[in-house]
Amino acid sequence: MSETYEEEFLEYTIYVEVSADRYNPAFSWSICKDDIEYDSGLAFSKHDAIAEAEAAITGLKNKSA
Residue 1 has pLDDT above 50, yes or no: no
Distances (CA, A) of 55 to 2, 9, 24, 26, 65: 22, 10, 24, 18, 15
Q: Where are the domains of the chain?
A: 4-64
Phi, psi of 3, rounded to the nearest 5 degrees: -70, -25
pLDDT (tens digit, 9 = 90+) per residue, 14-50? 999 998 888 888 999 999 999 999 999 999 999 999 9
The widest CA-to-CA distance across the chain, in whole angstroms, is 41
pTM of the shown model: 0.88
Q: Which positions ≥6 away from 59 have C-beta within 8 Å? A: none
